Every structure is written in C-alpha cells, then in structure tokens.
Amino acid sequence: MHYPGLDGIRGMAILLVVLYHNFSFIPALNFGWLGVDLFFVLSGFLITEILLSSKNTRNYFSHFYARRILRIFPLYYLMLVLFLLVLPQIKNFPLDLRFYTHNQLWYWLYLQNWVFIFRYDGKGAALNHFWSLAVEEQYYLIWPFVVLLIKNIRVLFVSCLFALLIVILARLYIWSHYQLDYNRLFLFTRIDGILIGSMLGIIYHHNRGLLKKYFTALILSLAAFNFIVYFLKKDPAFPVWAIAGYTTFAAMFAILVYESVKKENKVINAVFANSALRFLGKYSYGLYIFHWPVYLLTRPFTDKLTSGLFDEGSNMQLVISSMIATLAGLSVSILSFHLFEKHFLRLKKKFS
C-alpha cells in the first residue's frame, strides 16, 4: 500500500541524514542523525501495516520477503561487490577499506551493526552508515513471524512496549556498568523507532481514531518526560539520549507519520507535499547508500576546485565544496534508480 504523504517524510529523513554527514561542520545540523530514527519509524509503521493486512493470505511470507528482497538486496549487494571486492584491488585507492574487507562476512550476512561491538578499530568510514540497513533487515527477518504467531492485537502492542522497555534498560545497564560509547558500539539497541513505528501500525490498523483522541496528552507527556530526565540527572555524563531522547523523538516522529497518513492537518500536508521533498523521497534508498562514500571520494576534488574561488577553510568554501560533493551523490543515486534499481522494482508487482 502507498501513502503519498509519506514520500515527503521519507525525503525529509534522507535530507536530515545527508546534512548531518556532508555538512557536519555546521553545528546546527548535528542533530541530523535523527533522520535514521525517522526512517525506522516509517519502516516499522509500513511493514506492520502490510503484515497485519496480509496475515491471513496464503502467500504471507513469500510475497513479503520477495518484495523486500527486490527492493533492498540488489543495490546493497552491488555496493558490497564494489567496495569489498573490486575497489580494494585498486592500488592507492583513496578510501581505507581494510576494516570492511577484513570483516566482510558480517556485511554479507547483514550483521554489520554487531561488528562495531566486537571489532571496530576506528579506521575507515565509507560504509559505517550501513549499520542501520542491518538493523532493518534483522527486523524484517523476525517481525513477520511475531505478527503471525501473536493473534491478539493488544498482546502484540504490549509486546512492542515491553521490548522498548528492555532496550532502554539495556542501554542504561551498558552505560552504568561498562562506561562504553553506546552511540557507536551498541547500535543493536537503536530499535526504538522501529518498535514505535510498529506500535503505530498496530494502532492504525486496529483503531485509526485512537491517537487523535489522545494527541495533546501524548505530546505533553513526551515533552515532560524529556525535561524530567534531563533536569533530574545528577551525572553530567548521564546518557539522556539513550534513556529518553531516542524513544521520545521516535514517538514524535510516529505522530508526524500518523498525521501525514490521516491527511487532516493542512500544515503537515502542505510541508510534506512539497515536490522537492517528494523528489528526495523517491531516491532516498539510493541516496542513503551512495551519499557518504561518494562524498568521501569527491570532497578532495571539490575542495581543490573551490579553494581558488574562496578563502581556503572559510565557511563559504566548505559549504560550496560540500554542496558539489552532495550533488554528485544525488546524481549517482538518480542514475542508480533508473539504470539499475527500477528493473527490480518492476518485479514487485508479481508479489502484490
């Protein structure tokens, strides 16, 4: 099923991620990583809605997995072939790919979010953003079975809520006992958005008016929870994001998704019907895949190109250089969609 309003939200999500990575020198954009959580909410909502609507059909599993594979696998594995097998053979290739080649089995099996826990050495960056693809793929693998096995819709919702509580407690335990960088190493706990998106899908499928009834109370509760955790913390290093931030922002994103699907809020409809955001939404998967490695590859050339036009290291030079490198990534994404991905997407119709 397709909700037109979500195309613009998908565009907003990829825009946030790209700004965070490619324009990290601008402090105001440092929260752009929240775009990943917005993607997670979208995935959780859409996949849950699809599964609940099709759980009584004969081809429940085969159609779901066939459509997911056709959308995700071709480009993902093409990138792995390129970055793990082909490019490392090029002498003096400008990107350090040794971490990925040495641990490539994790990537081939969609387990790269776990490799950061055990083996990450801080070297290389080109494929680090693939961690979120692994989280989503592991969700796609497990969630259809959970939806099928748990018949009671309320029990399914409570199961998501319980899993969310376990995730928060796990992050708190990791921080308090090991003092490790949970942001980097414990990416397996970053499933708040997926769980909350799934809960939204359950609510929307069961009672579409429920959120509207409690909209104001929910917003105030989320804001209050954030403030309470932030102001009552005694340790300056206390992980506010891990305990409250990831969850509450994901919940706010879920409300945004809900409003976009309902199409009753004129402001939200106008914002996410924007043609530029919908354009980015169309190419969001390829842009997520390509934006960072292409940026790393092209940035030295764009820096050299712009250094003669602006003062080297100035904000203007950095912005223009990053814009050109970002447009290069967008161009590659558009070409990838029309020359490669589109042919696999057409096959999805056979599994509707």
- In terms of Cβ atoms closer than 10 Å to its own Cβ (0-12, 13-18, 19+), residue 18 is buried
Amino acid at 82: L
Tens of pLDDT, residue by residue over 321-340, are 999 999 999 999 999 999 99
Report the distance separating Cα 218 and Cα 213, nearest Å: 10
pLDDT at 228 over 90: no
Are 99 and 116 a contacting pair, CB within 8 Å?
no
- In terms of Cβ atoms closer than 10 Å to its own Cβ (0-12, 13-18, 19+), residue 133 is buried
Mean pLDDT for the chain overall: 88
pLDDT-derived band at 184, boundaries 50, 70, 90: low
The whole-number pLDDT of residue 197 equals 94
pLDDT at 182 over 70: no
The whole-number pLDDT of residue 76 equals 98
pLDDT at 168 over 70: yes
- Helical H segments across the chain, by residue range: 5-22, 34-54, 60-80, 98-102, 104-108, 112-118, 131-149, 153-178, 182-185, 192-206, 210-213, 215-232, 240, 246-262, 266-272, 275-282, 284-307, 315-336, 342-345
Percent of the chain residues topping a pLDDT of 90: 59
Tens of pLDDT, residue by residue over 12-58, are 999 999 999 999 999 989 889 899 999 999 999 999 999 999 998 98
**Residues, the chain:** 352
Tens of pLDDT, residue by residue over 66-77, are 999 999 999 999
Percent of the chain residues topping a pLDDT of 70: 89
State the sign of the Cα–Cα–Cα–Cα dihedral 242, 287, 2, 55.
negative
pTM above 0.85, yes or no: yes
Average pLDDT over residues 226-255: 74
More confident residue, 187 or 307: 307
DSSP 55-110: TTSTTHHHHHHHHHHHHHHHHHHHHHIIIIIIGGGSTT-SS--HHHHHTHHHHHTT
Question: In the block, which residue shows the tokens 């099996």?
Answer: 109
More confident residue, 29 or 171: 29
Are 50 and 139 a contacting pair, CB within 8 Å?
no
